[in-house]
Chains A and B, each alone.
Chain A
Amino acid sequence: MSERLETQVLIIGAGVTGLMVARELAKYRVDVMVVDKNEDVGMGQTRTSHGHIYGAGLSWANSLVLKSVMLPPGSPIYDPKCRKLQMEAQGFREMGQLFDELDVPWENQRRIAIAFDGDQVKNLEIAADISRQGGVELTWLGRQEILAREPNVNKNVVAGLLDEDHRISFYPWDFAIALAENLRENGVRIMLSSDVVGMKPLSGGFVVDTSQGRIRAEFVINAAGHYGTKIAEMAGVRDFDLKYTYSQMLILDKSLAGLIKGTVSLAPTPGKTSTLNPTLSGNIHIICARYLPTQDREATATNLELTKESIERAQELVPAISVRDVIASYIGIRVFTVRNPEEDMLEVSERHPHFLNAIVRLPGIGILPPAARLITELLGNQGLELTTRPDFHPFRKGIPRVSKLADEERQKLIAEDPRYGHIVCRCEEVSEGEIVEAISRGARTVTGIKYRTRAGMGRCQRGFCGPRVVEILSRELGVPETEVTYKGGLSRILLHRSKELIGGTA
């Protein structure tokens, strides 16, 4: 299969960074294409992002203090005036509206950082000070005040810092999926399972070879996240290195919903971090970030020691948590640029005027609205004609979620399409109608269904809905059940048919 395709701007990487740049460009009369090696959007760093955006305030100050206590003494920490933080504060102000346009569920989440001893209180004081420098006055809470808001927190807490307004909680894959659906409606081509295998400069632009064909592009945007070095290398413009670290996260059963009402985290402490986040679906998400170094960009293996440590740290904050409540665990790769660990790479490459790097480091998603505009501006500077398109359509409606509909609405939906009345995933109350709709919107795998509908994210982890989802995928895609995959490629779920191994073929 070798199609010959042409575009003005080729974005390599369909994570939220690449998709946001595409969205910005789609507002102009520019031909844009996005390619990604994975079988679905957002399957790189996006998928395992924490799902928080914060403006100036506690979370931001906390991460600065964390760096100052966890890095060797004398290491430079963030300058509160640096570009990244300016962009984050700006992006934070825009995110709510953007999420609403894209029908991405989100909510404001308060955060309390709690201290148990004098050293931790001191670090909270530093955080409060940094936050003040950034323009946000945080609220100090005494023990009783903390327990009044979060009654299940460890009673030995001595003090805490509260931030009510500077944190948004959402699901990062919701964002990527919504962006992609809207981009397709706006005429942007997104080619998945398209691994870039070679690149050559040609006539001012590039010829890019992918596993699905050759693409001629005037401009290339490197939004390949932790494969950023590989892409730059192929184009002959690599002048940076990337460092990879990973952190392991746990998801706790929904039966704990209400155990904490907002994010509860440990005050910055050398060697220990712990953040407990209630999620939109009522689970508790534990981040015990240790950011361990790794060379393996594709690492997915979890580690028992990290699981145990995460639970122990979580129990120090909220004693009622138990390892028996864990329903899922996963690791997320994070990227840090070596050139300037504190900044994102949003730049025209010094080695080629039509190659731009858009590699964002954690925390990253909040900066994307201004970052996408910056990349667009840079493209303009490099000669890309930017004429506004009046027919850019910013809105997208998500798949209706029956579990969230009022009875009357739900009844109406079922009357229109009875499949919305047939519940397939019992743990998350997901209907057949939602699954079929997800497939019509691009889901091709069990994982694709999972991220679009939540089917399979519940406590039984596909024990009951698994066979139903495989059957529906097989039916809707017109492929035998033995061809349905978990996450694309060679990840077939069912290897053989009944009797195949004992001489009787079906």
Chain B
Amino acid sequence: MTEPQIICIGCPLGCSVTLKIDEKGNIETLTGNQCQEGRMYVVAEFQSPVRIFTSTVLTEKGMGLLPVRTDKPIHKGQFKELMRVTAKLRVSSPCEPGQILVHNVLGTGANLIVSGSI
């Protein structure tokens, strides 16, 4: 039995919600939320804490930095690895926002896409 705490970000209240998790990893109880939306957020966040990843990618000389993002949220635990991957990327020609740089990056099911112009 573990009792992780998750802060709900749905409204300025920022309820600190305590979950009771059984040995199988299922949520037994959930206390501290003041609304249903909060409950749904906390459950989702516990089961799969995902975020949109955003960063920059280096381009060839004189082209500046290219802002990039994943087109879908990915597990937050993969950010560090993804940073190392994007650090090695180089873009050498002009690209359009929305253009896919890496398909299914790190097997996340999300694409790394261009999110700005140079």
**Do these two chains really belong together in a complex?**
yes
Binding site for B on A (CB under 8 A): 498-499, 502-504, 506
**Residues of chain A with a CB closer than 8 A to B87's CB:** 499, 502-504
Give Cα A407–Cα B40 distance, bound, in whole angstroms. Answer: 63
- Alpha-carbon gap, A506 to B88, bound state (A): 9
Q: Which residues of A contact B65 (CB under 8 A)?
A: 498
C-alpha spacing A499/B55, complex, angstroms: 11
Question: Which B residues, 47 to 86, have Cβ-Cβ distances below 8 Å to chain A?
Answer: 56, 58, 65, 83-84, 86
Q: Which residues of B contact A506 (CB under 8 A)?
A: 58
Please state if A498 and B56 are interface contacts (CB–CB under 8 Å).
yes
Q: Given contacts A498-B58, A504-B86, A506-B58, list 15 more A-B pairs with CB under 8 A.
A: A498-B56, A498-B65, A499-B58, A499-B87, A502-B83, A502-B84, A502-B87, A503-B84, A503-B87, A503-B88, A504-B58, A504-B84, A504-B87, A504-B88, A504-B89
Specify the main secondary structure of chain A where it touches its partner. Answer: loop
Closest chain B residue, CB of each to CB of A497: B58
List of B residues within 8 angstroms of A504 by Cβ: 58, 84, 86-89
Q: How many residues of B contact A (CB 8 A)?
A: 9
Q: How far is the CA of A247 from the CA of B13 in the complex (A)?
A: 48
Residues of B whose CB lies within 8 Å of any CB of A are 56, 58, 65, 83-84, 86-89
In the assembly, what is the distance between CA of A79 and CA of B86, in Å?
74
Cα–Cα, bound, A103→B46 (Å) = 70
17 contacts between A and B (CB under 8 A): A498-B56, A498-B58, A498-B65, A499-B58, A499-B87, A502-B83, A502-B84, A502-B87, A503-B84, A503-B87, A503-B88, A504-B58, A504-B84, A504-B87, A504-B88, A504-B89, A506-B58
Q: Tell me the bound Cα distance from A498 to B59 in angstroms.
A: 11
Q: Tell me how far the C-beta of A155 lies from the nearest C-beta in chain B, rounded to whole angstroms.
A: 45
- How distant is B37 from chain A, measured CB to nearest CB, in Å? 36
A503 to B88 Cα, complex, angstroms: 8
- Give the one of A498, A502, A504 with max B CB within 10 A: A504
> How many angstroms from the CA of A504 to the CA of B83 in the assembled complex?
10
Please name all residues of chain B whose beta carbon is closer than 8 Å to the beta carbon of A498 when the two chains form the complex. Answer: 56, 58, 65
What is the CA–CA distance of A504 and B86 in the complex, to the nearest angstrom? 9
Q: How far is the CA of A498 from the CA of B89 in the complex (A)?
A: 12
- By a CB distance below 8 angstroms, the chain A residues around B88 are 503-504
Report the Cα distance A503→B87, complex, angstroms: 7
CB distance from B57 to the nearest CB of A (A): 9
CB distance from B4 to the nearest CB of A (A): 29
